[in-house]
Amino acid sequence: MKSHVRAVVIGGGVVGCSVLYHLAKAGWSDVMLIERSELTSGSSWHAAGGFHTLNGDPNVAKLQAYTVSLYKELEELSGQSCGLHLTGGVMMADTPERMDFLRLVHAKGRYLGMETELITPSEAKAMFPLMDESNFVGALWDPVEGHLDPSGTTHAYARAARKLGAEIVLRNRVVELTQEPDGTWNVVTEQGTVKADHVVNAGGLWAREVGRMAGLELPVLAMEHMYLLTEDMPEVLDFNARTGRELVGVIDFKGEIYTRQERSGILLGTYEKACKPWSPVETPWDFGHELLAPDLDRIAPSLEVGFRHFPALENAGIKQIINGPFTFAPDGNPLVGPVPGLTNYWTACGVMAGFSQGGGVGLALSQWMVDGDPGADIWGMDVSRYGEWATLRYTNAKVRENYSRRFSISFPNEELPAARPQQTTPLYDIMVRDNHAVMGDSWGLETPLWFAPSAEEAHDVLSFHRSNDFEHVGREVRATRESVGVTEISNFAKYEVTGDGAEAFLNRLMTNTMPKTGRIVLTPMLNEAGKLIGDFTIAKMDAARFMVWGSIAAQKYHMRWFQQHLPSDGSVAIRRLGINLVGLSIAGPNARKVLEKLTDDDVSGSAFRFMDVREMDVHAAPCIVNRITYTGDLGYEIWMEPAYQRRVYDGIRQAGEEFGIVDFGMRALLAMRLEKNFPTWFRELRPIYGPFEAGMDRFVKLSKDDFIGREAAAKEQADGLKLMRTSFLVDALDADVMGDEPVWAKVGDTDYGTVEKPHGYGAPRFDADGKEIAKPEGGTLRDGDWRVVGWITSGGYAHSIGSSMAQGYIPSALANDGSEGMFEIEILGIRRPARIALEPPFDPAGDKMRS
C-alpha cells in the first residue's frame, strides 16, 4: 500500500469503483480505493441490477444515459462481462392521472432525444404476456432499459481502473480521517496511514460514518428493500422459445412494483408504503455479505395488486426472497461533489440507483476534481442542496416518505408533509391559522403559497390541470396589480459581505459593476466557463458593507463558491444570515401610500428612487428597505430581524386596509414575474446557460477589467448565440406548462441542432408474433413540417393579462419570430399554439416599477 496518493476513494461498491475508474481515465493514475471488505460488500452485491435512463431531472437523465452507454466500452476495456441485458421496459398506467404523468415523461424525452413511445396495454402485453391488460389504460415504452450483473459490472470498473494505474486495497477499513494545515488528509486505516490530497466518500451504507470522521452529518439513510425470485415459469419459457427474446422490464405504479425476467423466472421488487429504515443511527461495521430477514407481510399489499395485474405470478413458486439495505437521500437523488466548508473532501454517496447513475456520478465527480467543474449541470445531485436543517431525524422521516412514494405520481402542486414544519418565521401561525395559507417548503422553511377563503379550503387538490388554487391565486394577482398586496419573502438567501476588500471581491465574482452607496444592482455570477451559477441583488450599505440576496435553495452552493474565492489576507468576511433576517414585500400602485404611513422618511419617487436602498424605521422597527420587487410593479422589499416581523406585518396590514390590501403567496409572485419575463434560478438560470443566452445582457459589463468567466462570456457574445431564452403566450386549455415540455416549430427540414440525438442504444420492440415494430419517430416531425426545436423551463397562468405563459430556450434564429402559427408547446400530450411575447405583456417599458 502506498504512503501518499493524490486521492483516496473510500468504498468498493459500484459507485466507488466508477469514481476510481473515471479519475484514472482523466489522468489521475496515482489514486487508491480502500475497501473494508471485498468489492461489492455493501449494497452492490444484492442489488436487482436494473438500469434505466428516465429521471425527473433532465440533467440527471443525461448522466444516466451516459452510464448505460458506457457498459459496452467498459466490457471491452476491462475484459470483464457486465452481464448486460438490454431488454427495454414499459411503465404501466392504471388511471388517467398516471397516463397524464406518462405523457409528461414522453414529452420530456422528445427534447432529450429519447426514443420513448406511448403504447396501448395490448401492445405492452405483447412484450410481457404475464399481464392482464384490462387493469391498465396505457403505457410508456423505453428501449433503453434493462438489467445487468451487479458484481460483474463493479469488477469491470475495478479492472479498468487497475489497467489505468489505480490501486485497490481490500480488507482494510478506514478508521479515522484527519487533515493537516496544508489541506492534506491522513487516511488512517487498519493497515496504516495514507496521505491523500483528496478524499472521496463513496462509503455507501457507511457514508454517514465516513462523513462523521470529518465532522459531517450527511443526510442519508438506509432502507430495507425486498425483491423475490420465482421458480421457473412455463409462461416465461414459452415466450422465450416462441420469440427468441427475453421479457421486457415492467413498472406497475399501482402495485408499487417492478418486474423483469431472471433466468427462466421473474424478479419482482416492491417500494412498499409500509417501509422500514435499517440502522437509522449507526451502521455496524461488521455487516457484510448477509441479508436481512424477509418480511412478506410488509409487502403483501403490493403483492396482492401484482397478482391481480400479473395473474401468472400468483401460481409461481418463490425460489428466494432478497431483503437488503440501500441508502437514500431525502429526495432520492445522490449526494455528489465537494462538501462546503471542507477542503478537498468529496462525496459520492446516497446513489440508490447505482447501476443507472454510477457511471454518471463517476464522470461528473472526476471532472469536478480534475478540471474544477463537473462538466454538466448536476444541481439535482449536488451535496450542497441540503442545509443544516437536514438533521438525522429529519432525514429519517423524509427518506421514508420518498421511499414509500418511489412509484407514486409527483404532481406539480404537491407539497409533501413529512418532517414539517422544520423551520418557521414569526408569521407562521398568523399565516396558517388566521389567513388560511397553504404552505410550501422552501429549503426547509415554511412559505405561504396561496391563501384560501377558509380553513376547510386551505389545501391543494392535486392535479396536472388547473386546480382549486387557480381562482384564489388570480384574485391575489389582480388585487396586487390594481391596488396593493403584501407577501413574505423570507425564503430568499441573505448574505452580508464586509471588509476593505468587499467591493473588489464582489466585482471579481459578479458580472455587473458594484453599486454606489445607497444603491442596488442586479447581477449574474458565472463560472470559469462563462455559465450561470448565480443571480443576485446586491446593495451597497457603505464603503465596506454590502447586502446580497439570492436563491434560498442555493445557499450552500453559493457559499462554497464564495469561500473558495475569498482573499487570503482577511480583507473580506462573508456571513450567511439565513432566517436571522426575514422579509416582507409590498407591491402595487398603492404600495408607496402604504409605506408613507409607516415611516418618517421621505419615500417619494424623487427622494427614494427605483433601485435605492435605505435603512429606515418601518412601523417603529429598524429595517432595510429596497425599492424593488420581483412582481415588476411599484414596490418595496422590507428586511428586519425576526423579532420585529410581526410588528411590521401588522403595521402594513393596518396601513393598507383603506386600499384593500391582500396577502399574496409565492404562486402569485411567480405568476407576476412571468408577466414581466423575469427569469428564476434553477429554471431559466442554470449552469448549462450563458448570460447572453439567458437574456441577461444588461447586467453583464464586459468593459470591467476582470470577472470570473469574462473571457468565456465575451466569446459567447462574439460567436453569436445558438440558444435564447424566450417568453411565450400559450393558447392552453385547462392545464398550463410545468417545465420540461418540448417546443415545436414549423421549420420544415431546417436543422437548428438544438435537440440531442437519441441517447444510448435502443432495444427493438416486437409484436406478439415476434415481428419487429418500426421505431417511433420520437416526435421529431409531423407532416414533414414540425420539429422539436427547444424546451420549456417554467410557466403558469398570467392572471392580470388573462393568458397562459411560458419561458424556455429555442434557437436564437427563431427567437424574434412573433408570428402566429409558428410554435406549439406540448402540454399533457396535446400540442397547443404558442406565440413569442417579444416584450413583457405587463408594463413593457417598466414605467410602473420606476414611478
User: How many CB atoms are closer than 10 A to CB 412?
Assistant: 17
Average pLDDT over residues 676-684: 95
In the predicted model, is pLDDT for residue 254 greater than 50? yes
Which percentage of the chain shows pLDDT scores above 90?
89
List the one residue out of 10, 466, 441, 419 whose CA is nearest residue 219: 419
Residues listed for the chain? 851
Q: How far apart are the C-alpha atoms of 146 and 739, rounded to whole Å?
A: 28
The model's pTM? 0.94
Q: How far is CA 534 from the centre of its chain?
A: 15
Residue 636's pLDDT band, with cuts at 50, 70 and 90, is very high
Cβ–Cβ < 8 Å for 451, 437: yes
pLDDT at 757: 42
Q: Which is higher by pLDDT, 626 or 768?
A: 626
pLDDT at 770 exceeding the cut of 70: no
Enter the C-alpha cell of residue 758. Answer: 437519441
778: pLDDT strictly greater than 50: no
Give me the mean pLDDT over the 716-742 stretch.
Answer: 96
| Residue bearing the bigger pLDDT, 761 or 376 | 376
Query: Is the pLDDT reported for residue 53 higher than 90?
Result: no
694-707 average pLDDT score:
95
Residue 414 has pLDDT above 90, yes or no: yes
Distance, in Å, from the CA atom of 160 to the CA atom of 74, rounded to the nearest integer, reads: 7
> Given this model, what pLDDT does residue 63 score?
87
d(CA 64, CA 236): 29
CA distance 296 to 845: 65
539 torsion bin: left (phi>0), alpha (psi -120 to 50), beta (else):
beta
In one-letter notation, the amino acid at residue 678 is: F
User: CA 557, CA 252: separation in Å to the nearest integer?
Assistant: 36
The band of 391, judged by pLDDT with boundaries at 50, 70 and 90, is very high
Assign 3-class secondary structure to 351-380. Answer: CCCHHHHHHHHHHHHHHHHHHCCCCCCCHH
| CB distance 330 to 219 below 8 Å | yes
Which of the four pLDDT bands, split at 50, 70 and 90, describes residue 781?
Answer: very low
184-217 per-position pLDDT tens digit: 999 999 999 999 999 999 999 999 999 999 999 9
Mean pLDDT of the chain: 94
Which pLDDT does position 268 carry in this prediction?
96
pLDDT at residue 783, rounded to an integer: 47
CA-based max dimension of the chain: 87
Residue type, 74: L
pLDDT value at 776 more than 50: no
Cα distances from 199 to residues 2, 204, 282, 398, 765, in angstroms, run 15, 15, 21, 28, 45
Question: Over pLDDT 70: what percentage of the chain?
Answer: 96
CA–CA separation, 506 vs 543, rounded Å?
13
pLDDT at 766 over 70: no
Task: Tell me whether residue 49 is exposed, middle or buried, using C-beta atoms within 10 angstroms of its C-beta: 0 to 12, 13 to 18, 19 or more.
Answer: buried
Torsions phi, psi of 121, nearest 5? -60, -35
Residue 277 pairs in a beta bridge with 223
- 8 A C-beta contact, residue 793 and residue 743: no
Predicted confidence at residue 749, as pLDDT, reads: 73
Mean pLDDT of 658-684: 97
pLDDT-derived band of residue 756, with 50, 70 and 90 as boundaries?
very low
pLDDT, position 768: 64
Q: What is the pLDDT of residues 259-292, one digit of tens each?
A: 999 999 999 999 999 999 999 999 999 997 889 9
- Model confidence pLDDT, tens digit, residues 804-829: 999 999 999 999 999 999 999 999 99
Strand partners, 625: 614, 638
Contacts of 465 (CB under 8 A, 6+ apart): 734, 735, 828
Half-sphere exposure of 485 (CA within 13 A, CB side): 28
Q: Does residue 655 surpass a pLDDT of 60?
A: yes
- Whether 710 shows a pLDDT value over 80: the answer reads yes
Q: Does 647 have pLDDT greater than 90?
A: yes
Following DSSP, what letter does each residue of 95-133 receive, concatenated? SHHHHHHHHHHHHHHHHHT---EEE-HHHHHHH-TTS-G
| Residue whose entry in the numeric block shows the C-alpha cell 471485498 | 38
Q: Is the pLDDT of residue 659 over 70?
A: yes
Which amino acid, 584? L
Q: Quick one: average pLDDT of 508-514?
A: 98
Strands (E), 512-666: 520-526, 532-542, 545-551, 573-576, 582-587, 613-618, 621-626, 635-640, 662-663
Average pLDDT over residues 494-513: 98
Spatial separation of the C-alpha atoms in residues 643 and 670, rounded to whole Å = 28
Which is more confident, 115 or 101? 101
The pLDDT of 702-731, averaged and rounded, is 95
Full 3-state SS string of 194-253: EEEEEEEECCHHHHHHHHHCCCCCCCCEEEEEEEEEECCCHHHHHHHHHHCCCCCEEEEC
**393 CB burial (10 A radius; 0-12, 13-18, 19+):** exposed
